[in-house]
Structure 1
Amino acid sequence: MSAPELAWTLEQARAISAPEHALLEANAGTGKTTTVIGKVLWRLGLPVGRDEDGQEIPKHPDPCEIDEIAAITFTEKAAYDLKRKLRQRIEALEDDDRRDSLRWRIDRASIGTIHSFCADLLREHALRLGLDPSFRVMDEIEAQLELDELVSQLIIERLDMDDQGTARLVKDRHFRGYTHTSGATDFVRAALRDLRWHRRRYESWSRDGALDPEALARASGGWNELDDEAFDQTDAACRLARMALDRWERRLADENALDFDSLILLTRDRLLGPQRAGPALASLRQRYRLIVIDEFQDTDFAQRDIAFAIAGLDATAAPRDGPEPPQLFLVGDPKQSIYRFRGADVSVWNDARAKICDAEEPLRLTRNFRSTRPVVDFVNRVSRPAMNDPKLEAQPEAARVEYADLVPQREGDPGAVEWLKVSSSSPTRKKKDGEPMAVKAPERREAEARRIAARLREMVDPAGDGSRAGVEIFGDDGGPRPCRYSDVAVLSYSRKVLGPYEEALWAYGVPYYLTGEAGMNDRLEIMDVVNALRALDNLNDDLKVFAFLRSPFVGLRDEVLTRIKLEGPRGWRPFWKLARDYLQRDDWFEAPEHPEIVAIERDALDRGLRALRELAPLRSRWPLDRLLEELLERTGYRAHLELMEQPASKLANVQRFAHILAGYREHTLSSFLELWNRWEAQDLGIPQAPLYSKKDDVVTLSTIHAAKGLEWPVVFLIDTQESNEAHRLWNTFWSDRELGPIICPSSGNQGPRADEMLARAAAEQAAEKARLLYVATTRARDRLVIAGQTEGSLNWHARWLAAGLDDDVHVSAAVPPVEPAAPRCVPELTWIEAVREAGSLPPLAAPLRQRRLRTMRSATELMTRARSRREWRERYVLGLVPYRYFTQRARKGGLPAWLRGSIVHDVLQFIQELEELDELLDVTIGALESPELEERLRRGSELRADIEREIEGVVNSDEWRWYTQGRHYRELPFVHLIDVEKWHVGAFDLFRPDPECNWIIDFKTHDIGADEADATASSYSLQALLYLRAARALAGDTRLEFHFTRPGVTRAVG
């Protein structure tokens, strides 16, 4: 049995072989995931190797099976990575007898997120926990939108009932919030979620179903009349939240559905319930021997309660008689707890530490294998004072995190930490005395972005020609190699500030990949597209039509739009009709910029109005993605995007929007736009389309939150002089674990209680900023580059980072001497004159021939086109099914001709002997999935007997015996390539190859007499010609015979 070559540190070996419940505090870059995998392998009884002293770690004395282990991760990606790495380690055990078995059984291991773990638990133990196991888990966006609608409806109802508290809340705070403020619906949603997750706290703060001001006053250090006003608003929001939560839970119960929150909360409540928890807990304890929870610092008390209940650590859970509870292995780093906005509570870590470790220290991993010594030393110099900042003293004791120094294990270049210094003074704005004013955030970001883009290009490709003679970093083998773009990440605290940095990277020719859910709905091209669809949805909406005509879809000048309105008839008339009338005028407002503009505008307006008029009637008949594609094609909108900066990104976003539309084909345009409005209102973060993947040689542009758990050789940390966010707590709802909930008033309206709560919340927020800084700086392996101010008025991050400056940090104030990329060549109107003077157009200037997108044509299509151009266009261009298809009358109370013909053809395709006829008819009729037809065509019915006689007449004929004698093919498909853009397709009902002459047999099920066969065959001459040409091109000399099944006669062609 071969053991892994990995030598564990003594800290890792101790964690792996710990037999009891354990809390592992793993510093950044210390091999946490590797240790977790070692722990799992050890519990499986597999060899895990030796420690750094050469001592072999003994196998577990009582190994378990892989399906007796549960590993709960923070994200689905983390679960996938853990399972993948575990599989790799198992497959490396070449001599192990259990290798093959474990490799195939690894998918049975319970490795996933807390939501998937709870969903599986509730389904598996549904009857024990009193649940219907067929429950549905709602989509997260779906649930948010429905809950928002429920809250809004409730507030409207309470206003109709003259609820004074609701009326005051809406009057003071408005119904909905704006960009930077919250409204009544926002407060109620926030209160609802807080109430839902912390019911026990609210029970202690409430009396008779409402907040108790006396209880809240006792918990706080003071209270005055300003706190009374804040309390009234908070109580109104909480009362509405209780009612909304009651309705929401009733709706979930009625629909047998669970949202993401109720997956966790219901699991916790049922496992801690005294009546039904016992059997379920006994079963869980019998199944699991080890439960691993990764990123435990970013969990909440509900998740902790679930783990403790299963592990027998919760005194309120069912008694511990029965199976031995599983071992808990909780892994994380409290210094990396950065998801407070998602409900994560770092005090859960401290609570678990007190419960599991008692007075002892937790297990720790301190040795950093990721970053070089200069980077680690800088991280320690910055993070130690940041996490111990005196200004954080106001935070609750339960939320405090102690800093533990990282111990470096890799050496590196002394200049591995750089600082790109940005001036604190404005380069353009002066005070009255001539002194420069303090730099504004937009100015600072633009200057910072230029330095970052230039330095990044200098590090990778200073010449800009792909020669890549930049700096060296350490490769995976430990040796030096040139830095690539994919080795670099640019990290920001917020996605909202990334605009100037994207523009600078683009200007310097640096390719980048934007991670995470960067909002697509605020992109200008998407605003254009959505507005155009809104104009199609309602042509009488003048504002939307005006915006459509002004947008690049048409591109009219403001002067022309003004004249369309002012020179139209008095009184209201739809703006699109005014524009249509203006288009017919001979006189047009001239354009002094260039004489060609008028002609261009007229043509664009004509195309735009025709697109609106022709597509508007189809808005409820065509699939939404096809509607958009036709609009884009007719107006040439994509060509406009090609002339803008970063056209590939804009085109990709439009294409992604089309993909979103394709997922809502069952919706009308109106219903989709209503959904889109709600998505925008909820800011659900519809991601824009990425141009690259992380596997391409591009720079990663990311937020720090999205970068957690990742690493890069080079990390740029940008926008370090972020704004002070304490004011963002004003006019928001939150609750303090000790002082209760509050809608925090703005400055000047805060009483003693609000002041106390604001100080505590601001301190907790700043403490998380310190942890966020630790996460950001520990993403770097070889080099860390920081951009920002080192002087002036510095905020949290900038002040902490500046404290880490010393002689080992290289500070540069100059923009690196790297030339920006050459600007794109943009067409100008003067080119038109040059082309006209040249006479005939050169090849590159001549318009491209528009190729047909549909190259394949069938005989049926060609015959339809020959018979009726209108019907052909409806069916094959517009994709509409003619009404005659639905209204075709059945023959004398029988079946429609097309349906009877389809049944006959399907049976003839497969039948070998007449004895098979009944069974083949049963299968063919059953495939129609129509109970009514099955009843009408049941065995013994007259309709079925009629079809049977028709098929028997064919199969009993001399012709059929000749058709099927020897080698033949039924329903033989073919594709005949006439040229690149012309393909004929079809299927021969029966093809009989013969050395002398091949035969095509085409069955016609028309209800005709024998004397009508010649005329009917003649009507199919186009089909016969197409089939014969294809067969002769593919197989040589061929003839065709029409076999009319009703009169039982044949007619040969060719």
Structure 2
Amino acid sequence: GGLNFQDLLMRAGDLLRHGPAVRRYFQNRFTHLLVDEFQDTDPLQAEVMLLLTADDVHENDWRACRPRPGSLFVVGDPKQSIYRFRRADIVTYRRVKQIIADCNGEILTLSTNFRSQANLIDWVNTLFAGVFAEEESDKVPQFVSMDAGRGGVEQGELVGLHRLDVPKISNNREQTAYEAGQIARIIRQAIDQKWQLPDREGKLRPAEPGDFMIITRHKQFLSDYGAQLQVEGIPHQVTGGNAMGNLGELQLLVLVLRALARPEDPIALLAVLRSPLFGIADTLLYEWKAAGGRFEIRRSEADDPPIAEVIAPLEQLVSCIHLLRQLPLIAAVEQIANRLGLTSCAASARDGATRAGGLLGAIERLRTLRDQAWNLETIAETLEGWQGGNEEQDPVPVVPSGAQPVRVLNLHKAKGLEANFIFLAGVKKVRDTSAELHIDRSGDHTHGFVAIAEEKRSGNWAKTALLAQPGQWQDHSDEEIGFLEAEQDRLAYVAATRARGGLSITCCEGGKDSWEYFDAEEEPFASLPTIEAASEAPSATEAIDPADALAAAERAAAEWQQAAVATYRVVAAKADAIGNAEDRDHVQATGEHGTEWGTAVHRLLEVAMQMPEADLHPLALALIEETGLEVEAVEPLLETVERARHSAIWKRALKSPQPLVEAPFVRLASEADGDESKIVRGVIDLAFLEGDSWVLVDYKSDRVGKDADKAEATLRSRYQAQLDAYAEAWEQVTGQKVSERGLLLTHYDRYVTV
């Protein structure tokens, strides 16, 4: 978890550069290297490639390396080099190409296009013949006219060049909504009316959702296109945006977690009670307060106002606090989402598979950040950050659609992809090119020049003010702008070459749009039809007998009540195995070694396994405050964990290639009488792969007397059924064998197998 992808590349480069024996080993292991999409390669990746193929393992300057004959094969198109912002540019491409040529390598030009129809290829050739150069340079690639590798096709509704006309609307969001609605309705009509487009063999066939792709220049409004496709009931997949920011269920979960983290904060609680989750009217909340009710998450008391609409939500939130005390933190968050109906609410929406997938995906991602998610506040802040668009989050549907979806993505994500019909969408004008950074890689050494600027925003407008600059910055800035403007041409080329059969370009009234580069107002572009959104016809009024209305309401209430009757039970694996009553008999509810102590020990052991070098003292202090233990318990807690870390079972787990902590499982089982089903949920404290089978370990902080031998026998007997149930569930869910299961008795410093 301490290295990102760039760190790994840098370390790999260092290892190969200064380790001749390492290079020789990998050269013997990988005798032939094929690199595709080479125009996307940055200098560090090019260095690794040449070090792996160099004929001299002692040469540590990649620019001086010479590939062994037959060891290196690269494929690239400099006209598709569009990643200068991540260090990949034509300069590196040309340098490696020259190294290959200097070693008598063969340079082949591939000019046959097997993707697009001939009319699309002719248009691209005409458009870019005057843009790209006869001889390539560090900024501009060489123009190569494409030849059509596919036969011609008779004209279908979705063949050739089209434009989508969008009227002038001052608000970008509203204009995008209009355009997205038009695209969605055109796709709907194309599918319903079986508009024709060519397959890979050039034969016409009816359109399907997977034939369409919507490409934008910006990421900002990607979710708007997905929303309009959803209105039309068209399966779709949005990539590269922040669809998670539109998940109302995730927003509600954040509100709930903040309230649970501050159970005595009336503002946090009121936000939840007034939210769509409970929807309590202000008049009822005022009535509750005026009658002496308190806005605290607690069990109802005899003197509380008899307002069921407020008492019921408070009881639900109390049950959520119990989950937080009984389960590991992330597992509890997942159960809270389920118990409050957030997962069901997401799944029941029109785009339920995607919404539920987004919610569950966010919770699943929290599991990968457990070392940073120490308390509810941190989890709430993390989820809120994801919603705010700080990172790209693309929900994955929990149940994949049977049909291939319409793809919605921005241009940088679309590179390398294709579709039968492409919509180049977007009404937002591309910003003028400016430079704040210039990297010069033209010589033997790389030089960087940075200007420091401040962006000042006013509404939708932004202005950049220069604060500091290096010497001769204007020359460096002009050079960088030349690179960036040349890349704009290549971006347009990539956009124009994604389509197999048909291409549509959005044209906004007034010419200020994302694709004005193509000037699609003129021939040979044909205008796509404008399809108005369907409006519901007003229904005829009908007199209703009040008695009939009352009877209908009663029937509806009875049906809801019947639907709410569970056809299954949800049980905890531990309680199901050993019985709730027995479990309560030996666990103290409070006190030094009660449930609070056990919770703190479990959390510390969880982090200790994930982060062996971590300082646990700050976490112990946080857990003391969270669980209500006395501050004097910090040192005993840390000592208990330290003893566990020195145990033999702990060391075995650390050596495992796949150690898992707090591993949740869910399985369907039958009741003993066979009449009903039950869903069994559980969390395994520690599971690790040893050889070809698994070892399951459960932590126990129980105290059952001073005699360790007798305690061991008692606890082994008590938890035998629980470990057996865990092993059965693990084998059923994973299909892999469990060879050992045991208890780590933290109070007695013992590990016992059962």
Q: Shorter-chain TM-score: which interval? A: 0.5 to 0.7
Could you tell me which of 766, 787, 810 is aligned with 2:526? 810
Query: Is the 1:311–1:326 Cα contact (8 Å) retained in structure 2?
Result: no
Is 1:800 matched up with 2:540?
Answer: no
Change (3 A) 1:340 1:493: same
Deviations 1:66-118 (A, max 9, x none): xxxxxxxxxxxxxxxxxxxxxxxxxxxxxxxxxxxxxxxxxxxxxxxxxxxxx
**2:484 pairs with 737, 740, 765, which one?**
765
Distance 2:283 2:130 in 1: 61
Task: Give the 3 Å change call, closer, same or farther, for CA 343–489 of structure 1 in structure 2.
Answer: same
Q: Equivalences for 1:487-498 in 2 at 5 Å?
A: 487-498=211-222
Query: Partner residue of 1:400?
Result: 140
Residue identity matched to 2:450: P
What is the rounded CA distance, in whole Å, between the counterparts of 2:513 and 2:242 in structure 1?
25
Give the TM-score normalised by structure 1: 0.48
* Distance (whole Å) between structure 1 residues aligned to residue 467 and residue 597 of structure 2: 70
In structure 2, relative to structure 1, the CA distance for the partners of 1:894 and 1:512 (3 Å cut) is closer
Q: Which amino acid aligns with 1:341?
A: F
**Paired residues of 1:293 and 1:329 also in contact (CA < 8 A):** yes
TM-superposition CA deviations, 1:413-447 (whole Å, max 9, x none): 387566665667546xxxxxxxxxxx442232122
Per-residue deviation, residues 641-673 of structure 1 (Å, max 9, x unmatched): 578654443333223334335556785435544
- Shift of residue 719, structure 1, vs aligned partner: 0.8
Match of 1:688 in 2: 395
The yes-or-no answer on 1:340 pairing with 2:80 is: no
Alignment of 1:511 onto 2:235 = yes
The residue that corresponds to 1:108 in the other structure is none
CA distance 1:334–1:579, change in 2 (3 Å): same
- Aligned partner of residue 116 in structure 2, secondary structure: strand
The letter of the residue matching 1:771 is R
**8 Å CA contact retained: 2:132, 2:141:** yes
1:527 to 242, 245, 251: 251
Q: State how far apart, in whole Å, the 2-side matches of 1:759 and 1:635 are.
A: 58
Q: Secondary structure at the match of 1:787?
A: strand
Is the alpha carbon distance of 1:474 and 1:793 closer, same or farther for their aligned partners in structure 2, counting shifts above 3 Å? closer
Residue 372 of structure 1 and its aligned partner are, at CA, apart by 0.5
Q: 1:88-107 to 2 correspondence within 5 Å?
A: none
Aligned in 2, Cα 1:651/1:398: closer, same or farther, shift over 3 Å? same
Counterparts of 1:423-462 in structure 2, within 5 Å, are 426=168, 439-461=170-192
Give SS of 1:374's match: helix
Which AA in structure 2 matches 1:615?
C
Q: Secondary structure of 1:371's partner?
A: coil
Q: Assess if the C-alpha contact under 8 Å between 2:214 and 2:409 holds in 1.
A: yes
Give the match for residue 688 of structure 2.
none
Query: Contact 1:564–1:579 at 8 Å: present in 2 too?
Result: no
Report the equivalent of 1:371.
Answer: 116
Q: Separation in 1 of the partners of 2:384 and 2:561?
A: 42
Question: What's the CA shift string for 1:441-496, capped at 9, x where partnerless?
Answer: 223212211221121112111xxxxxxx4122233454332121122222222332
- Cα distance per residue 1:394-420 (max 9 Å; x no partner): xx9623323322212225538756666
CA distance in 2, matches of 1:710, 1:624: 40
Aligned match of 2:451: 742
Q: Match of 1:850?
A: 565
Contact 2:17–2:51 at 8 Å: present in 1 too? yes
Q: Is the 8 A contact 2:215 2:425 kept in 1?
A: yes
Corresponding residue for residue 896 of structure 1: 711
Q: Cα distance, 1:366 vs. partner?
A: 0.5
The question of 1:609 aligning with 2:326 is answered no
Give distance in 1, aligned partners of 2:290 and 2:574: 55
Task: Tell me the CA shift for residue 868 of structure 1.
Answer: 9.5
Q: Does structure 1 residue 622 correspond to structure 2 residue 337?
A: no
Q: Which amino acid aligns with 2:79?
A: K
Q: Which letter maps to 1:834?
A: A
CA positional deviation for 1:872: 12
Question: Structure 1 residues 868, 727: closer, same or farther in 2, change over 3 A?
Answer: same
Given that 2:353 and 2:397 are in contact with CA atoms closer than 8 Å, whether structure 1 keeps it comes out as: no
Larger radius of gyration: 1
Distance of 1:663 and 1:699 partners within structure 2: 30
1:640 CA displacement: 5.5
1:134-173 residue CA offsets vs partner (Å, 9 max, x unmatched) = xxxxxxxxxxxxxxxxxxxxxxxxxxxxxxxxxxxxxxxx
Structure with the higher fraction of residues in helix conformation = 1
Q: Distance in 2 between matches of 1:559 and 1:663?
A: 43
User: Equivalent residue for 2:505?
Assistant: 786
Counterparts of 1:821 and 1:325, CA distance in 2? 71
Q: Distance in 1 between matches of 2:489 and 2:201?
A: 33
3-state SS of paired residue (2:149): strand
Q: What is the 5 A alignment of 1:83-232? A: none
2:213 touches 2:408 (CA, 8 Å); kept in 1?
Answer: yes
> TM-score scaled to structure 2, two decimals?
0.65
Separation in structure 2 between the aligned mates of residue 650 and residue 873 of structure 1, nearest angstrom: 41
Q: 1:709 to 1:297 in 2, by over 3 A?
A: same
**CA–CA separation in structure 2 for the residues paired with 1:753 and 1:668:** 51
8 Å Cα contact 1:714-1:783 kept in structure 2: yes
Identity of aligned residues (%): 22
Deviations 1:685-719 (A, max 9, x none): 33323366487343222223223222222222211
Q: Does 1:717 align with 2:461?
A: no
1:317 aligns with 2:59: yes
Query: Which residue of structure 2 aligns with residue 295 of structure 1?
Result: 37
Q: Quick check: 1:470 aligned with 2:194?
A: yes
CA separation in 1, counterparts of 2:232 and 2:70? Answer: 56
**Contact 1:285 1:323 (C-alpha < 8 Å) held by counterparts:** no
Asked whether the 8 Å contact 2:242–2:391 carries over to 1, the reply is no
Q: CA deviation at 1:340?
A: 2.7
- Indicate if the aligned counterparts of 1:492 and 1:719 stay in contact, CA closer than 8 A: yes
Q: Which amino acid aligns with 1:742?
A: A
3-state SS of the aligned residue for 2:47?
helix
State the distance in 1 between where 2:348 and 2:548 align: 19
Q: Is the 8 A contact 1:721 1:794 kept in 2?
A: no
Report the alpha carbon displacement of residue 526 of structure 1 after superposing the two structures with TM.
1.4
Cα contact 2:436–2:450 (8 A) shared by 1: no
Q: Which runs of 5+ in 2 are unaligned?
A: 455-464, 539-544, 599-698, 725-738
Question: What does 1:632-647 align with in structure 2 at a 5 Å threshold?
Answer: 632=337, 634-637=339-342, 646-647=351-352
Checking the alignment, whether the CA contact within 8 Å between 2:33 and 2:72 is kept in structure 1 is yes
Distance change >3 Å, CA 379–CA 278, structure 1 → 2: same
Name the residue aligned to 1:652.
357
| 1:884-1033 equivalence runs, <5 A | 886-887=701-702, 889=704, 894-896=709-711, 898-899=713-714, 902=717
The alignment status of 1:834 with 2:549, answered yes or no, reads yes
- Aligned partner of 2:612 in structure 1 is none
RMSD value, Cα: 5.5
SS at match of 2:188: helix
Q: Does 1:350 align with 2:94?
A: yes
Q: Which amino acid aligns with 1:706?
A: K
Partner-residue secondary structure (3-state), 2:174: helix
The answer to whether the 8 Å contact 1:418/1:811 transfers is no
Q: Distance in 1 between matches of 2:740 and 2:494?
A: 65
How many angstroms apart in 1 are the aligned matches of 2:300 and 2:76? 69
* TM superposition shift of 1:265: 1.7
1:617–1:549 distance in 2 versus 1, CA, 3 Å: same
Distance 1:845 1:782 in 2: 51
